[in-house]
Amino acid sequence: MTPIGEDVTIRPENREKCHMKEQYHKRRKMLRKLFLVSVLCLVLGSMLAIPAMASHPRGADAEVWPTGDPALDLASVQAAIDAAGPGDVILLHATDQNGVLTSFDFGTGGVVISKSLEIRGEIKKGKMTKILNGYDSLLVAGNPEADVTIRGIHLHNATDASIVVYHANDVIITGNRVTADTMKGRTLPLPGTWFDPVQPDDSISYGILVQGSPAYGCAVTGNVIVADNYVDLEEKLEANLADPGFWNFAGKPDQYFKAWEVPQNDAIRDAWSNWTGRWCSVGIAVQSVLGNVRVAGNKIYNPTMRGIMANCNNGDTLVEHNEIVLKLGGYFWGMGNGNIGIYTGTWPPTPGFSPKSITIQYNKIVCLTVPYLPDRTKDSKDKDGIWVVNYGGVQVTEGIIVRQNDITLRDGGYGIFLVDGKGDYVGQNRIRGNGKAALLIGNDPMDSDNAWSPLGTEAITLASNYISSFTSLMADIVFMDDVVNCTLSGNRGTVLFGDGNKINP
């Protein structure tokens, strides 16, 4: 035993262990100091951040509080837009400055956005920022270089459209809610145009419209994303369809139809006939964009004409994961098959516009009609699930994919209608209900648009579509005349071949 205070000679085999222990204690002391410094920095950082957050909530560069007075609300929002710098975020509050839930009211006007910025709403006390009324309430126009984002705003009872984009370079419209008690009286007559009304009160309107057509003096370029919006254009007439639980219909169309049957009596018939077919509305339209388009994750209820239009865009168009219910009734002037869940393709033929690719996938579509008024020419008895139409001698250059969509028709037209395509793929779609045909490939000779489609249809692949639960008037699959070199495999149902067809097994 070594006496206390005497030199201690460390044996060689223990020297390394002692060194390791010494280093271990040094590291622990260093880590404790680092931990204390980190905690102090976090505390100080939090204290410093509190005033900044109070001044600019959620990173906003400007804030506007609603008053409910149309003259004040419209002017204050426009003033914030006019004063904004490039890339600024403008926050529209859900409450007034006293914290009371209040809606903006735009009256009969709307604001114009002509610079790169983001307009953002908020949720307070469970309610979104809300804008009542307005005419083209949020209009993006005047600057084709504007990079604009609109998110988190509830727009209610706008006339013509809630969100309109005519000039922009990159657009994001996401997380918004667009509703109307009814679009009757809030739609825009378009006399002297292609949409020339056939009677005085015919008109057209949109929930969200992105229009880049040069024919209208518009220019939209870059990437356009319209995602996760809720659109209901007739929520008071069919309030039950606005119930989020409605979307449990998938796989249960019989229960769905039974639950929403329109009563069969003269009073109800008269009421429906007074408004059915008198105006047309589109949930979301993205047209003639010189760039790529994605329309995804939107819920669209009660448009009378079309749920989604994503046509004649010059890049890649992707329409996916949307849920659409076409309203009972509705009418599209001069077209027997104008009322469609999802419409894409190359119409209108525009110089310089040749879509690169179109993909439509994972969408749920329900199309309803008014079968108890057979003598009326203005009931849309032939609503269709998906149309992809190559018009004017222009085809989608890299082809079309339509896959894994869930479509239900009632007394409808076609589940999927593909016109004048080349090298396209239609597969794993589920089509239920009843109508003319589950799948129609080629141009319908009875359609008034026949003259617009001079190209042939060839090399289409139809693979593993589930259509055995669809009751067809013509056949489950119909190939029109001169459809050639198509491949048909794994589809269950009857097939009708036209003259000149050449089909691969």
**For the chain, which residues make up each domain, given as ranges?**
135-504
Helix H, strand E, coil C: the string for 126-194 is CEEEEEECCECCEEECCCCCCCEEEECEEEECCECCCEEECEEEEEEEECCEEECCCCCCCCECCCCCC
User: CA angle, corner 113, sides to 59 and 299, nearest 5?
Assistant: 75
Q: Which pLDDT score, from 0 to 100, does residue 412 have?
A: 82
pLDDT in tens, 423-476: 899 999 999 988 889 999 887 555 544 555 667 788 899 999 999 889 998 899
Locate 413 and state its tokens: 């037209």
Closest CA to 179 of 161, 202, 166: 161
Mean pLDDT value across the chain = 76
Q: Which bin fits 170, alpha (ψ -120 to 50), beta or left (φ > 0)? A: left
In angstroms, the CA 480 to CA 446 distance is: 11
In angstroms, the CA 277 to CA 294 distance is: 30
pLDDT band per the 50, 70, 90 thresholds, residue 281: confident
pLDDT in tens, 90-111: 999 999 999 999 999 999 999 9
Q: Give Dmax over CA atoms of the chain in angstroms.
A: 118
Our separate counts of H helices and E strands in the chain read 4, 37
Q: Which pLDDT score, from 0 to 100, does residue 118 have?
A: 98
